[in-house]
Structure 1
Amino acid sequence: MPNPLLLLSLTFALLFVGDAVAQEQPTMPEPTPEHQWLQQFSGNWTTKSESSMGPDQPPVQCEGIMTSRMLGGFWLINNMKGDYAGTPMNGIQTIGFDESQKKYVGTWIDSVTSFMWHYEGHVDSTGKVLTLEAEGPNFMSDGKTTKFEDIYEFRSENELSIQSRILADDGQWITFVSGTATRSKSE
């Protein structure tokens, strides 16, 4: 037969330890307004764009889809699938907000290059335009790197304007991709 005093002592000990452990649990961070801003990307989008890989290169029409979802309220994951000049292309983009740096951060990888892009960026004062900056291989100048910008402007809750720009050797920004993303009607 169990000792009632021992059972009572064990019960109090477990309650005390459980209470102490519960008090030591760190508070998990909550998504900030900057993280919440990213939620407007969530959904399925149809993309149409035109790109040019050089001043004397003809423009190429591209079509695709972008599926966007939030991960834990902190990270946006964009899965992009499309066709670029007859070549299938897949890309994965992550965007979040680094509270300690007070800036948007992210990455881009795709199926046609071996380079991982690292973004830093901001939303403009209108609250409609996200500009992500990165440095990477300059496809207009062999062996060099340069600065790039990806610019997303919400024209409405269902339409995005998208631009990608490269900083040329002369210091001028050149838009090499421009297009739109339209939210699928089933959203």
Structure 2
Amino acid sequence: MEAQTEREPVREDVWLRRLAGEWSVESPAPDGEGTIKGRETGRLFGNWVVLEGASQMPDASVHSSLMTLGYDPARGKVVGSWVGSMMSHLWVYEGGLDAAGDTLTLATHGPVMDGSGGTADYEDIITFEGEDTRLLTSRQRQPDGTWRDLFCVRYSREG
């Protein structure tokens, strides 16, 4: 098997590299009572970024997650995946940056969270607010075609 050499970075690679580092994580609990707090470590893996997180829930349980993101020049898209210890679904991403280069929108498809067994389209939207703060907003497409925000997580760079 022939080793592949790293390619010249493009705009998406530069943007994704901003995710590397140590981050504090905070968001309201899904039920609106309490706050979820945690940490995330982003590290570079060639042209990929790997984000590993752990958060303590209001019930004192700890949830872990792993996200991978990279730019696929053949598809012209940012691609990736997300898994969390609290569910069995592998979320597969495909998306891109907005024209301003501040926001990455990742489309995915997965189970509806109401226990009905149905599926829906989702978007995870990552927006930088300067270099040391970013937001992740997750939303779900509703049957009428509109989007409903599910949650928003704030990340603050440590150190």
TM-score by length of 1: 0.77
Q: CA deviation at 1:64?
A: 0.8
Distance 2:3 2:52 in 1: 33
8 Å CA contact 2:126–2:137 kept in 1: the answer is yes
- Quote the residue 2:5 is aligned against: 28
Give the alignment's Cα RMSD to 1 decimal. 1.7
Q: CA deviation at 1:178?
A: 1.0
8 Å CA contact 1:51–1:176 kept in 2: the answer is no
Distance 1:31 1:182 in 2: 29
Letter in 1 for 2:142: A
Distance 1:173 1:31 in 2: 36
Report SS of the residue matched to 1:41.
coil
Equivalences for residues 3-14 of structure 1 within 5 A: none
Letter in 2 for 1:47: V
Q: Could you tell which deviates more after superposition, 170-179 or 92-101?
A: 170-179
Q: CA deviation at 1:131?
A: 0.8
Distance 2:8 2:32 in 1: 40
Equivalences for residues 74-93 of structure 1 within 5 A: 74-86=47-59, 87-93=61-67
- Quote the residue 1:21 is aligned against: none
Letter in 1 for 2:68: T
Structure 1 residue 144 corresponds to structure 2 residue 122: no
TM-score by length of 2: 0.90
Q: Could you tell which deviates more after superposition, 167-176 or 148-157?
A: 167-176
- Quote the residue 2:156 is aligned against: 182
Report SS of the residue matched to 1:38.
helix
Identity of aligned residues (%): 28
Letter in 2 for 1:69: R
Q: Tell me which of 26, 50, 67 is aligned to 1:48.
A: 26
Distance 2:28 2:100 in 1: 26
How many residues matched? 155
Find runs of 4+ consecutive structure 1 residues off by over 6 angstroms.
none
Letter in 2 for 1:183: R
Q: Considering fraction of residues, name the structure with more helix.
A: 1
- Quote the residue 1:124 is aligned against: 98
Larger radius of gyration: 1
Q: 1:65 to 1:39 in 2, by over 3 A?
A: same
- Quote the residue 2:44 is aligned against: 70
8 Å CA contact 2:29–2:58 kept in 1: the answer is no
Return 5+ residue gaps in structure 1 as ranges: 1-24, 53-57
